């Protein structure tokens, strides 16, 4: 059985960022990835939005790591010439009830250290984005978009330059938690003994954690899957900025994002499903999209939307329950030396990735 200092399970954006951070700190790192390439799961099926850090409870990991991670991500992309643009976002209120919520959102943002939100009248919004119709809005100039795949490729390059290794087609089958080490076995029978293991398997993190003998089951949350479908727009984007409605339960509503090529897409919606493999886009869901989008873009033409793709949010709360924070669980929580589990790393995971990686690396040194 070969021995290695650190094993990171999962080569999505979070696993790559954590592995890179550990390698840059001088640790010997191997990344085990079940797929044959990086970033094929949740990391390949999101909006590629750089979040400002507006919505999350003050002091939560989501709030703290999003705000810190946003600045780190923008700086990282500038230094490495990765396409990333702070195009800004409008949070639009289309009813009196939503207008009443805007000030609460702004105050929550201020508590999180996001003090640059601007409250705009409907006329001011129309001057910025003539296609939009709303009563009032908040403008977030710090929100942006990023080429997430180029970002992941850069993280991989940093990792490999620092001496880290990626092992593709290497699904982790089971693990044993022993005093002073964790023994791992991959699906092909390869065995490793590691001093530190980071479970960054995304949607598969909870079921994977249950295969660690020696980790008590009460420390592993149940996984829930919130599917989000996206629809593309035939024709030119009506806006240069991102457009979000006031947040709804389990998500941020059917919003308009613009990619780096200037193409618009709408979504995601929220559909609780039983399997992380349920990635088909039901074209009939477009009816609800038209109704929601026309609340802020009335000129959306019939037949303009087409199914694009779907992603799954790795939730650790059941439908109807309050949203949970990132759960970064180390030995001080579960009692297993050398093991760090990452559960419920949904949005703003991409934005938070570099700050989250430093936070996890610190836990690996405890």
pLDDT digits (tens, 9 = 90+) for 110-155: 999 999 999 999 999 999 999 999 999 999 999 999 999 999 999 9
pLDDT at 366: 62
Give the residue-averaged pLDDT of 77-92. Answer: 97
For residue 278, pLDDT over 80 is answered with: yes
The full set of domains in the chain, from first to last, is: 2-46+149-221+323-364 (3.50.50.60), 89-141+224-315 (3.30.9.10)
Q: For the beta carbon of residue 171, count every other beta carbon within 10 angstroms.
A: 15
For residue 339, pLDDT over 80 is answered with: yes
For residue 307, pLDDT over 90 is answered with: yes
For residue 249, pLDDT over 60 is answered with: no
Residues 6+ apart with CB under 8 A from 130: none
What string of DSSP letters covers 182-213? EEEEETTS-EEEEEEEEE--GGGHHHHHTTEE
pLDDT digits (tens, 9 = 90+) for 197-217: 999 999 999 999 999 999 999
pLDDT at 235: 87
pLDDT digits (tens, 9 = 90+) for 349-363: 999 999 999 999 999
Which CA distances in Å does 303 have to 94, 131, 256? 23, 18, 17
Give the residue-averaged pLDDT of 246-274. Answer: 85
pLDDT at 251: 53
Give the residue-averaged pLDDT of 21-34. Answer: 98
For residue 22, pLDDT over 70 is answered with: yes
Give the residue-averaged pLDDT of 305-322. Answer: 95
Q: Which residue has the tokens 């989008």?
A: 293
pLDDT-derived band at 259, boundaries 50, 70, 90: very high
pLDDT-derived band at 250, boundaries 50, 70, 90: very low
Give the residue-averaged pLDDT of 63-71. Answer: 98
Give the residue-averaged pLDDT of 148-169. Answer: 98
pTM (2 d.p.): 0.96
Contact 239, 129 (CB under 8 A): yes
Cis peptide leading into residue 295 (ω within 30°): no
d(CA 13, CA 356): 11
331-348 CB burial, b ≥16 within 10 A, e <16: eeebebbbbbbbbbbbbb
pLDDT at 254: 86
């Amino acid at each position: 059985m070969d021995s290695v200092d650190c094993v990171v399970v999962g080569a999505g954006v979070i696993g790559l960022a954590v592995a890179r951070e550990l390698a840059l700190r001088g640790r010997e790192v191997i990344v085990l990835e079940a797929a044959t390439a990086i970033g094929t799961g949740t990391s390949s099926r999101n909006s590629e939005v750089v979040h400002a850090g507006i919505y999350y409870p003050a002091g939560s990991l989501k709030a703290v790591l999003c705000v810190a991670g946003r600045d780190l991500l923008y700086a990282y992309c500038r230094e490495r010439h990765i396409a990333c643009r702070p195009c800004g976002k409008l949070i639009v209120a289309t009813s009196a009830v939503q207008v009443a919520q805007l000030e609460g959102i702004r105050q929550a943002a201020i508590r999180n250290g996001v003090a640059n939100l601007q409250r705009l009248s409907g006329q001011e919004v129309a001057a910025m984005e003539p296609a939009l119709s709303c009563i009032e809005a908040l403008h977030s100039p710090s929100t942006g978009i990023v080429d997430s795949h180029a970002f992941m490729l850069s993280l991989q390059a940093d990792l490999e330059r620092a001496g880290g290794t990626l092992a593709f087609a290497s699904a982790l089958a089971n693990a044993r938690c022993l005093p002073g080490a964790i023994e791992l076995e991959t699906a092909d029978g390869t065995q490793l003994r590691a001093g530190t293991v980071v479970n960054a398997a995304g949607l598969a993190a909870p079921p994977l954690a249950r295969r660690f003998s020696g980790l008590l089951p009460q420390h592993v949350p149940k996984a829930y899957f919130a599917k989000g479908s996206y629809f593309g727009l035939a024709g030119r984007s009506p806006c240069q900025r991102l457009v979000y409605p006031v947040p709804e339960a389990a998500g941020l509503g059917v919003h308009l994002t613009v990619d780096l090529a200037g193409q618009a897409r709408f979504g995601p919606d929220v559909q609780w499903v039983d399997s992380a493999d349920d990635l088909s886009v039901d074209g009939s869901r477009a009816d609800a999209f038209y109704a929601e989008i026309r609340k802020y873009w009335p000129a959306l033409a019939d037949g303009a939307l087409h199914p694009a793709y779907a992603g799954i949010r790795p939730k650790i709360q059941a439908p109807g329950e309050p949203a949970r924070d990132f759960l970064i669980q180390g030995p001080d929580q579960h009692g297993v030396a050398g093991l760090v589990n990452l559960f419920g790393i949904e949005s703003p995971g991409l934005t938070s990735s570099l700050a989250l990686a430093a936070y996890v690396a610190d836990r690996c040194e405890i």
